[in-house]
Structure 1
Amino acid sequence: MRWLRPGEVPTLGNWFRAAGYDTHYDGKWHISHADLTDPKTGKPLATNDAKGVVDPAAVQKYLDADPLAPYGFSGWVGPEPHGALMGNSGFRRDPLFADRIVAWLKDRYNRRRAGDADALKPFLLVASFVNPHDIVLFPAWARRSPLAPSPLDPPPVPPAPTAEEDLRSKPAAQAAFREAYYSGYGPAGAIERTYRRKAQEYRDLYYRLHAEVDGPLERVRRAVTEGSTDAVLVRTSDHGDLLGAHGGLHQKWFNLYDEATRVPFVIARIGAGATSARTVDAPTSHVDLVPTLLGAAGVDVAGTAAVLAETFSEVHPLPGQNLMPVVDGAPADADRPVYLMTRDNVLEGDTGASGVARMFGVASNPPAPLRIRVPADVAGNFEGLVQRYDGRLWKLVRCFDDPGVWTEPGVRQLAFSGRGGDRYRNDVLDDQWELYDLTGDPIEAVNRWADPTLDDVRQFLRTQLKQVRAASVPERHRPWPYVGRHTPAKRGWLRF
């Protein structure tokens, strides 16, 4: 993984600042490495403890440093809410994000009412909550959960209808990832048993985490609707979670299934031109967010792009669509092709150290039981297309190898990291495909790629995939090749 560098791709904040808006961000970021360092520990500077007690001095250090300024935002308070520490969980951090955001909104609206010229400027506010991301902590929380029984607890959540798939008709990467996933935490056998034996608790926790974040979300919504007479509110998410669907897959990697890729996209306007409730089922994409919000603000996209191009190297025509006409009642383009892509080989990393290995301080030389096993002998890149053909909605998915993102780009890829040591390959693997009739099979249980009656569908969708890919993923103005993975230090031994 590599962070976005300043001066490359302008963010939503850069676009709005260039258009004259104030821009404020609080919550999960994950776009650049913005954490400050605690000089006493050498670790990210914490702003609250495990119980959620805030350190005001540390908060002020983040506000003074303004680490997101190159990315078009102010107001961010770190550190990033990731890792196993309770103080960084969404359960602890989301209410704190809401506290700061609501306070910022109330101050802004009070100053507006007092006639403060700066406060009267339009603003873009991003409230980025963590949950339900805390589901990643399930192996630890299954032993000692911070959540007490509550009316927020859901009724028992049933397993997905595809939970017992054998995946033999799907790309090999999916079964390989399923087998390797547990090693990312620590001793794979013990972790897998936890997931299997406590599957009901696992599913229930995911839905409880949604309920937990509803409170912070509602507090921010009410602060806007009660304090402003004219605003556009947008609610969405970065990804979903498989939660054991499709043969026992977890999280969102190595696939483009509906559970991982379809998320809420809710837009409401208050004040002039207030919206009324309406549901649109046409496919959309995350790339629609920027043009839609710019459209809602009435921003001159071409003029603003010209301004941004003076200081950013990667200003390209926006690939998404402005959906505000649809929000205002126009019919959606139901035949529009939507492109999807993921290239995150999350288990490879630099050192092969599992979460338990890092906890014990052996990140550079993990012993075999604590070493991550990469998905063996498979490609890790997925791209797809959702589009209608002959009155039915289809999803085409291509699993492909790319030497440009190998462990040593263009040279070799780590293909195995289990007992017996690492093994590499330098051959490019063949593509593997999925084809789903989403109209007749919305749970994506039956891969129709090999169906001999669907030649016309395959040909049409493959042609569309090439065209939409070219439009969605432009060539960089300034190439930035991937670099090789760091070589782990010599392995040692850990007694425990």
Structure 2
Amino acid sequence: MAANVVLIITDQDRARPSYERVALRCPARERLRASGLSFEQHRIASAACVPSRASMFTGHSPWVHGVTQTDGLAKGHDDPAMRWLSPTQLPTLGHCLRALDYDAAYLGKWHLSAADLRDGQGTVATVRREGRRGVRAPAGEARYREANPLSAFGFDGWIGPEPHGAAMHNSGTIRDPLYAEQAVEWLRERGRRFEGGERKPFFLAVNFVNPHDIVFWPEWSVFRPRWLGSGVPSSPPPPTAGLGVKELLREPPVRNQYRDRYLRAYGPPDLIRSAYELRGEAYRRFYHALIERVDRHIAAVLDALDAQPFAEQTAVIWTADHGELLGAHDMHQKWFNAFEETVRVPFVVRAPQLRARAGQRVEERSSHLDLLPTILGLAGAGKGTAARARLETQLDERFPKARPWPGQDLLAERAELDSYFVTADAIVNGNQRLAAVTRRAPALRRLSMLHYTPIDGCATGVEALVGSVEGRPYKLCQTFDPRGTVLDTLALNPRQRFPGERELFDLEADPAEARNLAGQSATAQIEAALVRRLGAARAAVGGPKAGEVALLD
């Protein structure tokens, strides 16, 4: 029987690093883990927000869907470098579920296309801020319901605008309670329809913002300390914080440039740096407070679901679009790297057929490319079923150029594959060359310290493979030039402007990824084997084969 599915997505929410011991009060997360199956080695397919969500909802890598950039800092939503997902390009999860006769609803953060409604006064508002709480605007919500902006992607019910940008009403602190409220209303209405005899299966995506509010740390730590939360235990800095000159010289140049440009993109670099370095403990407390904050909203959704008559026929999946470095490797947020703090995220499935496995942990690798096939399996359209055959026939007619999904149904029999990740998201490269602080204080634009230049003169793309060699987990990372490069070679050639850099980490002996083993004779055979496997994994998700020119910008 096809199950209902509730998909809960949090934003910038990493899996707990091995070195982190802070005890958080997150009963909703623990409730899901206790009643579901936890995939401990789950990694994203791309970063940051927009590319990752495109992979989650299409089941494809950026090599196929072409969505590589996130708006923000240097880019607005209409920047020439932005490539939003097109509803006619590839089938989305919404298209699939609609073809399977599901009601597919979408609430909360979207960030896959420029879907906000606009009129003569600007963006149509659906929320206003009163102090530290948001108040819904029914007239604006009605306009979104009538327009149904995500219908072309197969989803109904989305109420914008996007919770994106520096305005307080776009923060998760303001918007997440309202998203939870919308989800509770939706589930209760669905319960009333169920009691009235309706049995059509449904899919509900509930997309929260937090702990994404950590991006506001430089501003909130100074101007809005009351918004930071309190009562969260302290945690020590990550073991890879405080890199010395020797370590920095061994880093790929793109990361050193990012460390500089990231500070300049916010404001006076010395001031922004001090907000992170001098108040590091408070910074980490704030991130963990945001995790506790969004957990309360997850709990509200679970409570509403479990009170409905269809609860026993409903699967719940919780995951995140990407993680957060939180000062690891002397970096913040999620760009220009493939470290575990960025790429490994929670993935928990609670489903009717998993009751006998409740509370278990799965250590086999999985990927965000597995999300769509797993949901199709829950919907009764797993690989090899008649429903899947009918679905693929319908999709082939509408999307004749679409490729097969490379991911696997995580609840069916599967082979453990290597995890492949790629990103070319250059958040500090775009039309905007002024620090974010100048948008609130235009008079500061005359200060030269608040102007910055894009990252240039180095390879800016990053790809990575996580796989086992003789039962031991390793990660191979390499940078490449997304504007045209011959992959699987680190030497300059006429079609490659910048050489790449390679890193190799033994994730068992060095889970913090502090020791780069690339180029060492003792691990040369392992490195060579993983380079070959990385090329095969890239090709398997639709990327270029070894020796082919790659364009991913």
TM-score of Structure 1 vs Structure 2, range by shorter chain = 0.7 to 0.9
Whole-angstrom distance in 1 between the partners of 2:484 and 2:159: 35
SS in 2 for 1:267: strand
SS in 2 for 1:121: coil
Deviation at 1:404, TM superposition (A): 4.4
Deviation at 1:358, TM superposition (A): 2.9
Say yes or no: does 1:67 pair with 2:149.
Answer: yes
Report the counterpart of residue 235 of structure 1 in structure 2: 318
Say yes or no: does 1:161 pair with 2:239.
Answer: yes
Say yes or no: does 1:27 pair with 2:108.
Answer: yes
1:358 paired residue among 425, 439, 453:
439
Deviation at 1:272, TM superposition (A): 8.5
Deviation at 1:208, TM superposition (A): 0.3
Q: Deviations over 1:231-252 (max 9, x none)?
A: 1100000111111111x10101
Whole-angstrom distance in 1 between the partners of 2:99 and 2:366: 26
Q: Deviations over 1:311-362 (max 9, x none)?
A: 235521101111113xxxx6x745x211111110110022323312333469
Alignment check: 8 A CA contact 1:234 1:265 kept: yes
Whole-angstrom distance in 2 between the partners of 1:309 and 1:153: 54
Whole-angstrom distance in 2 between the partners of 1:372 and 1:127: 37
SS in 2 for 1:215: helix
Q: How does 1:85-164 map to 2 (within 5 A)?
A: 85-115=167-197, 117=198, 120-145=199-224, 147=226, 153-164=231-242
- In structure 1, stretches of 5+ residues that fail to align are 406-425, 476-480, 484-496
Whole-angstrom distance in 2 between the partners of 1:315 and 1:367: 49
Which of structure 1's runs of 4+ aligned residues deviate more than 6 A?
A: none
Deviation at 1:280, TM superposition (A): 0.9
Whole-angstrom distance in 2 between the partners of 1:372 and 1:96: 37
Give the aligned length. 446
- Using CA pairs below 8 Å that are at least 6 residues apart, which structure has the higher relative contact order? 2
Alignment check: 8 A CA contact 1:35 1:80 kept: yes
Alignment check: 8 A CA contact 1:389 1:457 kept: yes
Deviation at 1:275, TM superposition (A): 4.5
Alignment check: 8 A CA contact 2:220 2:228 kept: no
Deviation at 1:16, TM superposition (A): 0.8
Report the counterpart of residue 270 of structure 2 in structure 1: 189
Whole-angstrom distance in 2 between the partners of 1:275 and 1:232: 14
Alpha carbons of structure 1 residues 378 and 63: separation in structure 2 relative to 1, 3 Å: same
Deviation at 1:168, TM superposition (A): 2.7
Deviation at 1:295, TM superposition (A): 0.8
Deviation at 1:262, TM superposition (A): 0.3
**RMSD of Structure 2 on Structure 1 (CA):** 2.4
- In structure 2, stretches of 5+ residues that fail to align are 1-81, 382-386, 486-494, 545-550
Deviation at 1:395, TM superposition (A): 0.4
Q: Deviations over 1:68-94 (max 9, x none)?
A: 011111111111001111111000100
Alignment check: 8 A CA contact 2:370 2:408 kept: yes
Whole-angstrom distance in 1 between the partners of 2:367 and 2:339: 14
Identity %: 39
Say yes or no: does 1:348 pair with 2:433.
Answer: no
Whole-angstrom distance in 2 between the partners of 1:356 and 1:306: 52
Report the counterpart of residue 494 of structure 1 in structure 2: none
Alignment check: 8 A CA contact 1:282 1:333 kept: no
Report the counterpart of residue 203 of structure 1 in structure 2: 284
Whole-angstrom distance in 2 between the partners of 1:184 and 1:278: 43
Whole-angstrom distance in 2 between the partners of 1:258 and 1:445: 11
Whole-angstrom distance in 2 between the partners of 1:123 and 1:172: 48
Report the counterpart of residue 213 of structure 1 in structure 2: 294
Deviation at 1:298, TM superposition (A): 1.1
The normalised TM-score by structure 2 is: 0.76
Alpha carbons of structure 1 residues 390 and 274: separation in structure 2 relative to 1, 3 Å: closer
Report the counterpart of residue 410 of structure 1 in structure 2: none
Say yes or no: does 1:245 pair with 2:328.
Answer: yes
Report the counterpart of residue 306 of structure 1 in structure 2: 393
Report the counterpart of residue 17 of structure 1 in structure 2: 98
Question: What one-letter code is carried by the residue in structure 2 that aligns with 1:383?
Answer: E
Report the counterpart of residue 435 of structure 1 in structure 2: 504
Alignment check: 8 A CA contact 2:484 2:496 kept: no
Alpha carbons of structure 1 residues 311 and 357: separation in structure 2 relative to 1, 3 Å: farther
